[in-house]
Structure 1
Amino acid sequence: MQPSHRKGSHSVFSIYLHLVFVTKYRQKVIDDSMLQTMTEVFQRVCVANKSKVIEINGEPDHVHLLLDLHPDNNISQLVASLKGASSRIVRKQHSERLARFYTKPVFWSSSYYVSSAGGAPLERIKQYIDGQPGVN
């Protein structure tokens, strides 16, 4: 997949984020049904924030997301929205399964991983900037 550029009213941007959310206590609770629920929730939250889910997948104790981020977003606030909404809905729709693992209303660990993704390697960008004509 080639990164694409989107346009805002006063900007052109290409911001891709790789996010990883881990279940509380790394419990292996995520199944295909939960992942499908999360996918729907993540897509709704991203649309509401002018962003897009490019890819989502996971394992029983964590999920990976690749997002096309709109620059109006604060990353930590978007993460809080993604985790909060998905936790609330997953706990509601999959309460029987989760009751075997959690006695409190929890789902995600409070931590997360985020990394920029796509675009040119840093060394190439540094060379490009270094090669620009100086100010005279």
Structure 2
Amino acid sequence: MPGTFSQLYVQIVFAVKGRNSLIAEQWEQELYKYITGIITNKNQKLLAINGMPDHIHILIGMKPSCCLSDLVREIKKASNEFINQRNFLKSRFEWQEGYGAFSYSHSALDNVITYIKNQKEHHKRRSFKEEYKEFLNKYRIEHKDEYLFQWIE
């Protein structure tokens, strides 16, 4: 009997609203575990997750039946509620609108996983703005700067 076979790998990148550095080291692993649960419950496979106080990178193995925008919306909505219900911050937490999504071949996975795991070291040399624009240029994604994340200069 014929079946559907696929290997879809996508890195998702999104930022804290206003690009504020709000994700604290004390609770970031708890946040990552929670997001892992969301992805797993949506029957997708988490391959890597890490970030900085102002943004997050997630690498997933995606089934073709998954709608990426629905998955990202659910991750952002549920993790907003998770952070706010636990009172990790004195103010209300929100993710910024929008996200980046970049696909990879199976042969690139080890490099992408290493890249995501080393975010804190990587960002000692390159800002998130530089990193994000590099992704857009590398993938030849046409864009206007005014539609990118709000950048704190």
Confirm or deny a common fold (TM above 0.5).
yes
| Cα root mean square deviation, aligned | 2.0
CA distance in 2, matches of 1:35, 1:89: 12
Unaligned 5+ runs, structure 2: 109-153
**1:118 maps to what in 2?**
105
Listed one character per residue, the Cα deviations across residues 18-52 of structure 1 (whole Å, up to 9, x for unaligned) are: 11110010010112233212212221111121101
**1:128 maps to what in 2?**
none
Q: 1:37–1:90: 8 Å Cα contact kept in structure 2?
A: no
More displaced 10-residue stretch of structure 1: 50-59 or 105-114: 105-114
Listed one character per residue, the Cα deviations across residues 76-114 of structure 1 (whole Å, up to 9, x for unaligned) are: 000001111111101112x2x522xx4xx4410011111
Shift of 1:120: 6.8
- Report the 3-state secondary structure (helix = DSSP H, G, I; strand = E; otherwise coil) of the residue aligned with 1:110: coil
- Report the 3-state secondary structure (helix = DSSP H, G, I; strand = E; otherwise coil) of the residue aligned with 2:96: strand
Shift of 1:72: 1.2
Structure number with larger C-alpha Rg: 1
1:43 corresponds, among 30, 36, 45, to 36
**1:62 maps to what in 2?**
55
- Report the 3-state secondary structure (helix = DSSP H, G, I; strand = E; otherwise coil) of the residue aligned with 2:89: helix
Aligned length: 107
**1:52 maps to what in 2?**
45
Counterparts of 1:30-109 in structure 2 under 5 Å? 30-93=23-86, 95=87, 97-99=88-90, 102=91, 105-109=92-96
Structure number with the higher helix fraction is 2
Structure number with the higher strand fraction is 1
**AA of the residue aligned to 1:110:** E
Q: 1:49–1:70: 8 Å Cα contact kept in structure 2?
A: no
CA separation of 1:34 and 1:10: change in aligned 2, threshold 3 A: farther
CA distance in 1, matches of 2:107, 2:40: 26
TM-score, structure 2 normalization? 0.63
List structure 1 runs of 4+ shifted beyond 3 angstroms. Answer: none
**AA of the residue aligned to 1:64:** H
CA distance in 1, matches of 2:107, 2:45: 21
CA distance in 2, matches of 1:113, 1:33: 26
Q: 2:83–2:93: 8 Å Cα contact kept in structure 1?
A: no
Q: 1:42–1:53: 8 Å Cα contact kept in structure 2?
A: no
